[in-house]
């Protein structure tokens, strides 16, 4: 089955700096890569996603890049703000056949933005 | 508010007991997913239901079972509980039929086994 590894496990940055979180996946058939943000006491919430036919996607201060050859994808947050402090999860999903239907999540990155 | 409702929010029980966690998906969503989040761990996929039928299975223990009812709410049953079952259990729903698409998570049910 799919295995997703996420680094770093914790990340502390100063407000205004950039933050980068990296993930690798094992199943070359995976074609959907979302990122979820989990704030304290809440469930994860989708912040951005990318599909395998695209190399990069941007939404305001957030961007995701995908390298299918190397099987890794990254989340980039620019001009970080204190409200970006949360746990971020990457995930990967393969095509709709047996055993590949559900998202496999990474272990999470706790991002702390220092004011 | 994601629109996904989970009850109870907190549950404390003893080893060997059985509990039931309940989930109401977003209005109109046919897919329900259950995930387990242990301390310092990511989200481990347990099981997925689509319109009442089991669609995919993850690393769900034999002591655990789930079902989705005709009104689309879902229940996760955990039996013969062990200390290691203490975790946050999330339910998520999705409207897509092909692929997962965006998952909408509830706020979770925190289970503590003493």
pLDDT tens by residue, B75-113: 999 999 999 999 999 999 998 765 667 899 999 999 999
What pLDDT score was predicted for residue B40? 66
* A100, pLDDT greater than 60: no
* B52, pLDDT greater than 90: yes
Q: Mean pLDDT over all residues of chain B?
A: 92
3-state class (DSSP) for residue A83: helix
Contact B114, B17 (CB under 8 A): no
Question: CA-nearest residue of chain B to A30?
Answer: B99
Q: Which residues of A touch B98 (CB under 8 A)?
A: 96
Residues B6, B59, B87, CA angle at the centre, nearest 5°? 45
What pLDDT score was predicted for residue A111? 98
Q: Within a 10 A sphere around the Cβ of A64, how many other Cβ atoms?
A: 24
If we measure between CA atoms, which residue out of B104, B100, B1, B89 comes closest to residue B37? Answer: B89
Helices and strands, counts by H and E, chain A = 0, 11
What pLDDT score was predicted for residue B96? 72
Identify which has the larger pLDDT, A1 or B88.
B88
Least confident of A68-77, B41-50, B69-78: B41-50
Contact A15, A113 (CB under 8 A): yes
What pLDDT score was predicted for residue B89? 97
Residues A62, A68, A71, CA angle at the centre, nearest 5°? 90
Q: Mean pLDDT over all residues of chain A?
A: 91
Q: What percent of chain A has pLDDT over 90?
A: 77
If we measure between CA atoms, which residue out of B16, B4, B20, B32 comes closest to residue B111? Answer: B20
* A98, pLDDT greater than 70: no
Chain centroid offset of residue B98 CA: 21
Q: Within a 10 A sphere around the Cβ of A46, how many other Cβ atoms?
A: 16
Residue B42, token pair as written in the block: 């990511």
Contact A31, A94 (CB under 8 A): yes
The number of CA neighbours under 13 Å toward the Cβ of A22 is 7
Q: Which residues of A touch B35 (CB under 8 A)?
A: 105
| Nearest-by-Cβ selection for B41 from A32, A45, A107 | A107
Q: Which residues of A touch B (CB under 8 A)?
A: 4, 6, 32, 34, 36, 41-46, 49, 89, 93, 95-96, 99, 101-108
* B31, pLDDT greater than 70: yes
* A94, pLDDT greater than 80: no
| Nearest-by-Cβ selection for A102 from B4, B45, B107 | B45
């Amino acid at each position: 089955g799919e295995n997703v590894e996420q680094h770093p496990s914790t990340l502390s940055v100063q407000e205004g700096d950039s933050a980068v979180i990296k993930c690798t996946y094992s199943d070359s058939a995976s074609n959907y890569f979302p990122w979820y943000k989990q704030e304290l006491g809440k469930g994860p919430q989708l912040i951005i996603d990318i599909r395998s036919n695209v190399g990069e996607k941007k939404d305001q201060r957030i961007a995701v890049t995908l390298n299918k050859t190397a099987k890794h994808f990254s989340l980039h947050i620019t001009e970080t703000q204190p409200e970006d402090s949360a746990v971020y999860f990457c995930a990967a999903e393969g095509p709709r056949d047996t055993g590949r239907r559900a998202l496999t999540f990474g272990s999470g990155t706790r991002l702390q933005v220092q004011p | 508010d994601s629109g996904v409702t989970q009850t109870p929010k907190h549950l404390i029980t003893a080893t060997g007991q059985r509990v039931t966690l309940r989930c109401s998906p977003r209005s109109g969503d046919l897919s329900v997913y259950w995930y387990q989040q242990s301390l310092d761990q990511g989200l481990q996929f347990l099981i997925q239901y689509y319109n009442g039928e089991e669609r995919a299975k993850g690393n769900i223990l034999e002591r655990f079972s789930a079902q989705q009812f005709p009104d689309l709410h879902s229940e996760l049953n955990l039996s013969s509980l062990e200390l290691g079952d203490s975790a946050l259990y999330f339910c998520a729903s999705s409207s897509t039929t092909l692929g997962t698409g965006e998952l909408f998570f509830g706020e979770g049910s925190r289970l503590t086994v003493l």
